[in-house]
Amino acid sequence: MKLSNKLVEEVVTSVAGADVLPLVKLLKNKKNVSEFKLAESLELEINVTRNMLYRLYHANLVSFIRRKDKKKGWYIYYWTFKLKQIKHLAVTLKKERIERLSDRLFREKESSFFVCPNTCMRLDFEKAVGFEFKCPECDTLMEQESNEEKIKQLEEQIKELQKELA
């Protein structure tokens, strides 16, 4: 897996949100950047900037050191982006996605599904029986759905992710 800007953006967006990307661009390839300088550069309040930094910290994508300001007496935090963590986190996220898709694939293969012709909802057999095969939203008779296409798509997505991991 190549460490590209696209990969960095995907990982950061999925673990901390897209709003954090400008902050990451400022931090990337720099060490010990003051949170006040970051807030100033982004033209954001310090609390908003800290919130973004804490989201990155929670995902283990930044580290910090704190130093006491000699004049004011309070602590200032200096942040560093941990680029090396991106690959590890990307692998973890892909594995989790494969697991979720595999669970869904299992449910799709093991159940029969019924859909409302008005596309109100989709229910598995057990729930459809409970509603006497009538849509609980619009009371229309539900139809059995062929989920072969969904199964095929899920299998393809899992294969693609496994290929990316290899």
Q: How far apart are CA 66 and CA 76, in angstroms?
A: 6
Q: What is the pLDDT of residue 4?
A: 76
pTM beyond 0.85, yes or no:
no
Using the predicted structure, report yes or no on whether residue 37 has a pLDDT greater than 90. Answer: yes
* Nearest Cα residue to 121 out of 131, 105, 101, 136: 136
Q: What is the pLDDT of residue 160?
A: 92
Neighbours of 73 (CB within 10 A): 7
In tens, the pLDDT along 43-79 reads 999 999 999 999 999 999 999 999 988 888 888 899 9
Q: How far apart are CA 89 and CA 16, in angstroms?
A: 12
Q: How far apart are CA 163 and CA 140, in angstroms?
A: 43
Residue 159 or residue 6, greater confidence: 159
